[in-house]
Amino acid sequence: MTANATRGRFVTLEGIDGAGKSTHVGFLAERMRARGRPVVTTREPGGTPAGERLRELLLGEPMHHDTETLLVFAARREHLARVISPALARGDWVLCDRFTDATWAYQGGGHGVDSARIAELERWVHGGVHPDLTILFDLPPAVSRGRLERAAANGRTLDKFERESDDFARRVRAAYLERARAEPARFRIVDSTRPVETVRDELARIVDAL
């Protein structure tokens, strides 16, 4: 069998802040494991010791939007080299909470970073690795704002992106939806305003069809 024939599946989760991705990561990983392959669960920014330190900087420190873009791709290079590519080469499945669509949505859509720059970094850093499936948890910014405010009232400190305006969240959401429209074969859009159980049923169907 060739290396390519045994390559694992690469699944990413996306959505605006408060869209509920994290609620479903454990369930998705279990459902994927039930398909019989080991599953590596990871996240961006982060997923490696260097990446996690960059995450702290990215989520805590105000910076030029180009710097932000360069740092997310620096963390991603490390993540691909040390975690994602080796796992896929072993034949494992990778479930990654956010990936490059988040850069297109947040730095591109949200902050207006030039798409040619993002495309160039994507080509350089990815080295041909791309998600097979991306689940986009979609909901209106007003709903996510309510969720984030409740989390803050319960004592959680909101990070730099969670404190951005609703207008920023609208631009991020629009960028995500545009990417989903451009690549319908890769994306599944999940309506995240519905009860957790209903969302879970849909996620189970998506994973079982992988």
- Binding ligand TMP by CB under 6 A: which of 8, 9, 31, 44? 44
Q: Helix (H, G, I), strand (E, B), or coil: what is residue 59?
A: helix
Stretch that binds ligand TMP, among 28-36, 37-45, 78-86, 145-153 (CB under 6 A): 37-45
Residue 151-170 contact track with ligand TMP, rule CB under 6 A, x = bound: ----------x---------
Sheet holding 10-15, edge to edge: 39-43, 93-97, 10-15, 133-138, 187-191
Residue number, 90 or 159, with CB nearest to ligand TMP: 159
Q: CB 143 → ligand TMP: shortest distance, Å?
A: 16
Interface segment toward ligand TMP; rule CB under 6 A; list 4-12, 32-40, 96-104, 133-141: 96-104
Q: Interface with ligand TMP includes 138 (CB under 6 A)?
A: no
List the one residue from 12, 42, 85, 103 that touches ligand TMP (CB under 6 A).
103
Which residue number, 94 or 102, has a Cβ lying nearer to ligand TMP?
102
Integer Cα distance of 197 and 210 in angstroms: 20
* CA end-to-end span of the chain: 21
Letter string b/e over residues 53-82, b meaning 16 or more CB atoms within 10 A of that residue's CB: ebbeebeeeeeeeeebbbbbbbbbbbbbee
- 72 near ligand TMP, judged by CB under 6 A: yes
Quote the crossing angle between the two packed helices 49-60 and 65-79, to the nearest 10°.
160
179 binds ligand TMP (CB under 6 A): no
Q: Which residue, among 200, 130, 136, has the nearest Cα to 172 in the 3D structure?
A: 136
Q: Is the dihedral of CA 79, 169, 152, 146 positive or negative?
A: negative
Q: Which two tokens stand for residue 51?
A: 């990446």
| Min dist. Cβ of residue 89 to ligand TMP (A) | 22
98 binds ligand TMP (CB under 6 A): yes
List of residues contacting ligand TMP (CB under 6 A): 17, 43-45, 59, 72, 98, 102-103, 106-107, 161
